[in-house]
Structure 1
Amino acid sequence: MLNETAKKLVDEIIKKLAESKESISSSFGELLSLLIDKLQLSKDKKFVFLLLGKTGVGKSSTVNSLLNQEIAPVGKYDATTMEVQEYEHEINGVKCSIIDTPGLCDDIPEKGNNQKYIELIQNQVKQIDLLWFVTRLDDSRVGEDEKKGIQIISEAFTPKVWEHSVIIFTRANKADDYLEELRERTKRIRDEIAKHIGHEIANKIPSVAVDNKSQTTPDGKRWLEELYTQVFIRMSERGAIPFLMATASRINKTQSHKNNRDPNWTFYNPSESQDKDENREFDANDFIFNSIQKELIKQKIIEVIPALAVAGATIGAVAGGPIGAAIGGVVGAALGGIFYFFS
């Protein structure tokens, strides 16, 4: 027999699953949040972004756009010294850290001692789930200071850090020939990274062009969903689940309150989306993925299933008896619901 606490747990999760059958998209985030809470997947866990790039290129603005909150302050002044700054935050009960490296890619008087900065970063940065290399698309070359930053990060960590990285080009709408410059700039950045880790890893690093003052890039495509997709699929498995839980409520959920919109969030006009379902209303903060992005996200979820399975088994072992089996079934059913949504 299930004890009362165990029975309430199972009943609560089953109720959410039942609701998701009617509208899987509306309860997707709530379902995932419930699972991660009950299975303690996010307990003492967080995701960590390490930012690399010149001061003023839009690192903080882009992170804030992705997470829809002011996580990292937007600086107005040039860096004057090498340092490591960490900004901690919590989104939907999930902890996150944004670590910036002001001065690392800047032309400042304090330079010429790479080993000092390598030790500084190694001492202060203990977890990296994704490395963001941020640079302007309308800056035609890889600057000497950017080269220095790439070198220091490559020497401070193993080449594996670049396996969990993404190249982000800001000011996309300032490019004269958008697609050509995107291709050329991506190649140049990858070539510079390859000098330290080889082309096999460097050539697999994806690039995303963004513009924090527009919802689209010059080719008419919305960039925020592409940024989310590449960030998620390139993250370490350790950070992927907390990141998904922190943002799940914004994935194509049904908008139940018409006028509950953030006036400061201007990137979305869902009426312009070709994927719009005429029977649904969207919150301005929702992500609306295309079929390719959905498939990539689904494949990443498949990769992190072992973590869900282990968590379910752990809770089951602690609870023992029927509750363990019940939770295992719930996890399986929830994953089925996730895959249904992303199919």
Structure 2
Amino acid sequence: MEIKAVSEWSGFQTFPEPTQAKLDVLFGNLNQQNVNTLTILVMGKGGVGKSSIVNSILGERVASVTVFQEEVSTPLMFSRSQGGFTLNVIDTPGLVSGGQVNKQILSSIRSFLLNKTIDVLIYVCRLDAYRVGNLDRDVTKAITDNFGKEIWRRCLVALTHAQFTPPSELDYIEYFAERSEAVLKFISSGACINQQEFQDHGIPVALVENSERCETNGLGEKIVPDGTVWIPNLMEVITGVALNGSGAISVGPKVTDSTLFGKLVFIPMVLVECLLVKLIKLAIDNDIAKETKSF
């Protein structure tokens, strides 16, 4: 597990000037709210584009992405500084292997995040996936079990592979809405979030297209098929989550039976057992004494 040192955000200059201007406004809004550091955690199954999102956000190829290896094998944090503002982006391995949630990977991510504060979780899925199932619910349940239900209050969903042509019976906006609804339903199920909670605090969804085939507008900014300039839009959603009023997630050690808490719970149980044994023995002795007297 490795933490990259903070460095100047050279990739910022690779964005088209209109995108730079929009990002400057967003970071300025954060500074006005006394937020000068933002830590983003990127999680999801393998092959969904997590590392590519990290590269796109930073405008740099910091995470290795190849045809045969699409993600990191251990958590990595990349830190960049721009105009007094520090952005930390944490890339993580895919949470599934062999058709099930990999508990060892989750444990390594948790260890990496120990004593760190997470401002925003980007949960990554693919737009061009048609179905969700039990495995998707298992993933969100595992995230909830490891980081608490409150992490979903600091979450946004990123749907990658947005340069996608939906089935002929659906237009793009309709398909995006249905896919978003399906993803949010399995998050709700896996995280045990009821309908009222979702209504009170919804999880936003953003479109992402990391590939070179992503179209651009007349200003050179990358756009998705619905016309959204997606990089500043993603960052706007991120800053909105960061300022939504819920508390940031501080990752502490998990409480298990082997911890002090577990031992403190166990000690009273031992005392109760000893007391019960003594009471039973006393009752038996009293019965014997009574029988002796009557005899």
Category of TM-score, reference length = shorter chain: 0.5 to 0.7
**Structure 1 residue 124 corresponds to structure 2 residue 112:** yes
Count the aligned residue pairs. 205
Post-superposition offset of 1:132: 0.6
Contact 1:142 1:189 in 2 (8 A): yes
Post-superposition offset of 1:55: 3.0
Q: Secondary structure at the match of 2:97?
A: coil
Output the CA distance in 1 between the equivalents of 2:75 and 2:139. Answer: 13
Return the match for 1:207 from 205, 208, 224. 205
Which of 1 and 2 has greater Rg? Answer: 2
Contact 1:46 1:239 in 2 (8 A): no
2:178 alignment partner AA: E
Structure 1: which 5+ residue stretches go unaligned? 1-24, 241-343
Q: What does 1:38-57 align with in structure 2 at a 5 Å threshold?
A: 46-57=37-48
Post-superposition offset of 1:228: 2.0
The two structures, once aligned, show a CA RMSD in angstroms of 3.7
Output the CA distance in 2 between the equivalents of 1:55 and 1:201. Answer: 29
Q: Name the structure with the higher strand share.
A: 2
Q: Name the structure with the higher helix share.
A: 1
Identity over aligned pairs, percent: 27
Return the match for 1:90 from 66, 81, 84. 81
1:69 corresponds to which residue?
Answer: 60
Residues 286-334 of structure 1 deviation map (CA, whole Å, 9 limit, x = unaligned): xxxxxxxxxxxxxxxxxxxxxxxxxxxxxxxxxxxxxxxxxxxxxxxxx
Give the TM-score taking structure 1 as reference length: 0.50
Give the TM-score taking structure 2 as reference length: 0.57
Contact 1:83 1:103 in 2 (8 A): no
Q: What does 1:1-343 align with in structure 2 at a 5 Å threshold?
A: 29=24, 46-78=37-69, 83-104=74-95, 106-108=96-98, 114=103, 116-125=104-113, 126-142=116-132, 145-176=135-166, 177-195=171-189, 196-198=191-193, 199-202=195-198, 204-212=202-210, 213-214=214-215, 215-235=222-242
Post-superposition offset of 1:51: 0.8
Post-superposition offset of 1:159: 1.5
Output the CA distance in 1 between the equivalents of 2:76 and 2:67. Answer: 15
Contact 1:52 1:149 in 2 (8 A): no
Contact 2:50 2:71 in 1 (8 A): no
Q: Secondary structure at the match of 2:223?
A: coil
Post-superposition offset of 1:61: 2.5
Post-superposition offset of 1:208: 1.1
Q: Secondary structure at the match of 2:117?
A: coil
Contact 2:63 2:71 in 1 (8 A): no
1:121 alignment partner AA: I
Output the CA distance in 1 between the equivalents of 2:153 and 2:93. Answer: 22
2:225 alignment partner AA: P
Structure 2: which 5+ residue stretches go unaligned? 1-19, 216-221, 248-295
